Each structure stands twice: as structure tokens, then as C-alpha cells.
């Protein structure tokens, strides 16, 4: 963060703290004529501070005084509680913390379109294939796939890889459950720890497919998940595509095995 931007942010946060004091003082000393003006001033500066803070997920390398001021600005003030109480008492929706269309457009422009546009989102979401399966999969796995695709479209590349590990775990666990490997009876039941990915994936596939899954989970995923490295867009896209291809093949393999078993049962009954 540039020094001048940081200085502006700290100054606004300092003004916010003082604006809250004015609101509190007007209530304590019954200066009700000035109360609406002070509350409006607090609301306006609070939105500006939150907007500027929202641009930065991390603010580092600052002195202790600036740190304490910015931390205070993120916590609730007495004025916040007053605004919340007044909002509950009013029947209309037009009040201090209800943003107007113009304010939402301005904030969206500052916080969202400053780093991504609808064009970039559509372009990137089209780069990622969807899963096409005959087998029904758990709702959670569907959610994980959607979140991973959205993470890529929103340029959250490290999160993509983390979600890919979750997708592989969920898929392997689902396939183990479908094949009865978690059932505590039968001679052919494999003893599996559902928290150990290597055991899960070994139970549902072998050979090249297993090696691909293991590479994604450990070689690609572990360094990112454990904070040893970060990745760029091309790497994230490669890992996500490969993950969805592996999951597609895992379920196709399961479908083929299920068909063989069904045919065998049909032949026996005949």
C-alpha cells in the first residue's frame, strides 16, 4: 500500500472515531438539535472508511498507532448501535445504512470493477468444463465444483487449488460409500479411514488415474494449501481442468463397474 493512500485511510479512520464521539456527546449532553447532523456525518465517513478498507485484504508494515486506529475503525461504535436501533424503529427502508442505487454503483465500481469485469468473469467461466454424469452425486460435491469454477472466474487462484482437493476428497468418499467400503460387514469390504485421501482414492481406482489424482492432491495442492507457494491463473486452470477430468473418469469408471455387476447378476438369474 502506498504511503499516501495509507495516510488518507488513517486520517479518515481518525475522523470516524471523532465523529462517533460527537454523536455520543450530543446524546449524553442532550444536544438533540445537532444529533441528526452528527449521525449523518458518522454514517458517511463510516461508509468511506469501510469502502477503502475493503480494497485491501491485508495492510502491513504500519506503525502501532496506525494499526490501533484502523483496528478501532473495524469494530462497532456506539453510533452503530444507535443506527441499528433507529433502523428497526422506522418502517421505511430509506435510512442511514440502506445504500442508494448510486452508492451501490459507486461502491461496486470501486471494489469490484476495479479488478474484474463481467467480460473477464464470462471469459474465464467458459474455460472450465462442467461435470456431465449419469450417476447422482451429493449436493455438497455439486456445490464444491460450482465454487471452484467461480473462484477461478473471480481470479481467486489459490482458492481454486484448495477447492480441487476438496472436490477430490468428496468424490472419492462418495464412490467409496456407493461401493459399500464404509459398511462394517462382508469379507470384501475394505477398511478405509475416510479422512485419509490416499486410502480413499486407492479403493476406487488404480494405475494412471490414481496417479493423476494423487498428483493433484499432494504435488499441486499441498504447497498451496499449506502456505508454501501461490499460483497464477494458468496453473489454477490446469489444476481445475485436471481435477474435473479425473472426477469425470472416476464416475465413468464407477458407472462401467456398476453395469458389469448388473449384467453379471442378470446372467446368474437367467
Q: Encode burial over 210-221: b for 16+ CB neighbours within 10 A, e otherwise.
A: bebbbebbeebb
Quote the pLDDT of residue 186: 46
pLDDT tens, 70-126? 989 988 899 988 888 877 655 444 444 555 666 666 666 665 666 667 768 777 877
Question: For the packed helices 197-204 and 233-269, what is the interaxial angle rounded to 10 degrees?
Answer: 50
Sign of the torsion angle spanned by Cα atoms 16, 18, 22, 24: positive
Q: Quote the CA–CA distance of 206 and 117 in Å, as a whole number.
A: 42
Total-model pTM: 0.65
Residue with cell 427502508: 93
Looking at the chain, list the stretches that DSSP marks H as alpha helix, in order from N- to C-terminal side: 3-28, 35-54, 64-74, 78-89, 101-111, 118-125, 139-153, 157-178, 197-204, 207-214, 221-225, 233-269
Quote the pLDDT of residue 120: 80
Cell numbers representing residue 36 in the block: 441528526
Q: Quote the CA–CA distance of 129 and 82 in Å, as a whole number.
A: 49
Which stretches of the chain score pLDDT less than 50? 91-96, 184-187, 189
Quote the pLDDT of residue 94: 42
Amino acid at each position: 500500500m502506498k504511503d499516501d493512500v495509507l495516510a488518507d485511510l488513517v486520517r479518515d479512520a481518525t475522523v470516524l472515531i471523532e465523529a462517533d464521539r460527537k454523536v455520543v456527546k450530543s446524546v449524553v449532553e442532550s444536544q438533540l438539535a445537532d444529533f441528526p447532523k452528527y449521525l449523518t456525518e458518522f454514517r458517511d465517513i463510516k461508509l468511506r472508511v469501510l469502502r477503502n478498507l475493503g480494497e485491501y485484504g491485508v495492510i502491513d508494515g504500519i506503525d502501532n498507532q496506525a494499526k490501533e486506529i484502523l483496528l478501532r475503525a473495524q469494530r462497532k461504535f456506539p453510533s452503530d448501535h444507535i443506527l441499528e436501533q433507529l433502523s428497526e424503529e422506522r418502517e421505511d427502508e430509506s435510512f442511514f445504512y440502506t445504500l442508494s442505487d448510486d452508492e451501490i454503483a459507486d461502491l461496486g465500481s470501486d471494489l469490484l470493477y476495479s479488478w474484474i469485469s463481467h467480460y473477464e468473469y464470462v471469459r474465464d467461466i467458459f474455460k472450465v468444463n462442467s461435470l456431465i454424469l449419469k450417476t447422482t452425486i451429493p449436493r455438497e460435491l455439486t456445490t464444491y465444483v460450482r465454487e471452484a469454477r467461480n473462484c477461478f472466474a473471480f481470479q481467486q487462484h489459490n482458492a481454486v487449488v484448495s477447492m480441487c482437493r476438496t472436490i477430490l476428497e468428496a468424490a472419492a468418499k462418495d464412490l467409496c460409500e456407493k461401493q459399500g467400503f464404509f459398511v462394517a460387514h462382508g469379507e470384501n469390504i475394505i477398511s478405509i479411514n475416510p479422512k485419509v485421501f490416499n486410502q480413499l482414492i486407492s479403493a476406487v481406482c488404480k494405475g494412471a488415474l490414481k496417479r493423476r489424482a494423487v498428483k493433484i492432491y499432494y504435488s499441486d495442492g499441498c504447497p498451496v494449501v499449506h502456505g508454501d507457494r501461490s499460483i497464477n491463473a494458468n496453473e489454477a486452470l490446469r489444476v481445475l481442468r485436471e481435477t474435473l477430468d479425473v472426477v469425470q473418469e472416476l464416475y465413468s469408471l464407477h458407472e462401467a463397474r456398476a453395469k458389469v455387476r448388473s449384467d453379471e447378476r442378470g446372467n446368474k438369474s437367467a
